[in-house]
Amino acid sequence: MIDRPSLFVNRPSFRLLDVGRSEGRPKLSFGYTTYFDMADICEGVAHELASAWLKTGSDPAWIGEPSWTELPFRTLVGDPFDLAHRALLPSIDTLTIRLGPDGASFPLHHRSASNVALAGGTYHVMPAGVFQPSSVMPWDQANDFNLWRNVLREYAEEFLGDPEADGSSGEPIDYDETEPSARSTRLAATAKCARTASGSGWTRSRLQARS
- Ordered mean pLDDT values, 10 residues apiece, the chain (211 residues): 62 92 89 91 91 94 91 93 90 91 91 73 87 90 93 91 73 88 88 77 78 71
Q: Are strands 98-100 and 128-130 parallel, antiparallel or unpaired?
A: unpaired
DSSP per-residue codes, 118-149: SSTTEEEESSEEES--SSSSHHHHHHT--HHH
List C-alpha distances in Å: 149 to 4, 66, 113, 142, 153.
22, 39, 27, 12, 6
pTM value is: 0.83
Per-residue confidence (pLDDT) for residue 76, from 0 to 100 = 93
Per-residue confidence (pLDDT) for residue 96, from 0 to 100 = 92
Backbone angles phi, psi at 65, to 5 degrees: -140, 80
Q: 102-133 burial by CB neighbour count: b if 16+ within 10 A, else e?
A: eeeeeeebebeeeebebbeeeebebbbbbbbb
Contact 184, 152 (CB under 8 A): yes
Per-residue confidence (pLDDT) for residue 188, from 0 to 100 = 83
- Choose among 18, 37, 25: nearest CA to 132: 37
Per-residue confidence (pLDDT) for residue 7, from 0 to 100 = 61
